[in-house]
Structure 1
Amino acid sequence: MKKRILSLTIIGLMAGILLASCGEKYKKDAQEVKEDVTELNKDLKQGAIDTAEEIKMTIKNDWENFKITSENTIQNTEKEIENLRERIAKISKKEQKKLTKELDELEQKSIVLKDKLAIRSQRFKDNLIEFNEKTKESEKEFEREFNHDMKVLGMALKNLFKDNLN
């Protein structure tokens, strides 16, 4: 009987030691998991910041390229308007009045587009634009509309004399 009690005591102690050591191992593993999760959260936040910065830089670079191209196009349009005014000055008074009126309307459209570009440029300069994926799409849409309007204006200027002096 003493052997049984001694055996049961030894088994109980061994089981206690085993359970105690497993508990410490579990606590250690739990702590490591917690640290890993914290590190992953930091990485995710940094990744989000990096992505936001990348989007911001892409949008700003694309805008600068678009702005330079658009400003050049507007300058060319203004020169073309001046050239057309010179051509109009050399034709009959009746036609001058009609063409000048149409050219004034086209010049107003050019001024509106120039102002639209300036306002958008100022928003970029003042950092009033939130930079994200939605902004990327909205900028592309603005550029498409602006380019379309400039193209329509350019065609109207080219066809000014064709349509009126037939």
Structure 2
Amino acid sequence: MAGTILTSCGKTTKDDASAVKEDVTELNKDLVQGAKDTGTETKDAVEADWKKFEATSKLAIESSEAQIKELRTKVATVDKAEKVKLTAKLDELEKKNAELKEKLQKRGAAFKEDVNEINQSTKEKEQEFEREFTHDMDELGTALKDLFKDNVK
């Protein structure tokens, strides 16, 4: 009788160990699939965010270009001393706008190249780039709006 009990306990332990091994294998498969799904979701989210940001930024750059053209015609009507000063400021702002446009184009090209390797750190890098770019665009917009404020007599 004792032999039967010991034999049956050994069989149960082997069955349990086998079940646990199968559970671990299945869990590992689930984790791998979950990681793939999360990577795909992150990639899709980063791509969508980038496209939205890129479109908004291009519109802001075009708007700045239009403002600069408009201000150039306005500068043409002021006296010569102010005209030189304002033209220099406008040239500076136009250069900054062109630099931002180029920066956005380069980042867009790099983004398209790296689209297959998007992960959480890539998402954070994109968010940092977007914050910096938006800050620079805001500064440019403020400078354009304030161009004539210093010259009011």
Q: TM-score, normalised by structure 2?
A: 0.91
CA distance in 2, matches of 1:17, 1:129: 60
Aligned to 1:93: 80
CA displacement, residues 100-152 of structure 1 (integer Å, 9 cap, x when unaligned): 11100011111111111111111111126842333333222222221111111
Aligned to 1:41: 28
Among 108, 113, 133, the alignment partner of 1:146 is 133
Among 12, 15, 19, the alignment partner of 1:25 is 12
The answer to whether structure 1 residue 123 and structure 2 residue 110 are counterparts is: yes
Aligned to 1:7: none
User: Of the two structures, which has the highest relative contact order with CA contacts closer than 8 Å and spacing of 6 or more?
Assistant: 2
8 Å CA contact 1:55, 1:133 repeated in 2: yes
CA distance in 1, matches of 2:40, 2:79: 59
Q: Percent identity?
A: 54
Tell me which amino acid in the other structure corresponds to 1:91. V
The offset of 1:165, in angstroms, is 4.3
CA distance in 2, matches of 1:59, 1:18: 60
The answer to whether structure 1 residue 164 and structure 2 residue 146 are counterparts is: no
8 Å CA contact 2:42, 2:120 repeated in 1: yes
8 Å CA contact 1:123, 1:129 repeated in 2: no
Aligned to 2:92: 105
The offset of 1:17, in angstroms, is 2.6
CA distance in 1, matches of 2:136, 2:7: 77
Change (3 A) 1:49 1:129: closer
8 Å CA contact 2:43, 2:115 repeated in 1: no
For the pair shown, which has the larger CA radius of gyration, 1 or 2? 1
8 Å CA contact 2:42, 2:119 repeated in 1: yes
SS of the equivalent of 1:83 reads helix
Among 77, 84, 105, the alignment partner of 2:64 is 77
Q: CA RMSD in A?
A: 1.7
CA displacement, residues 40-60 of structure 1 (integer Å, 9 cap, x when unaligned): 011011111111111111111
Change (3 A) 1:51 1:128: closer
Q: TM-score, normalised by structure 1?
A: 0.84
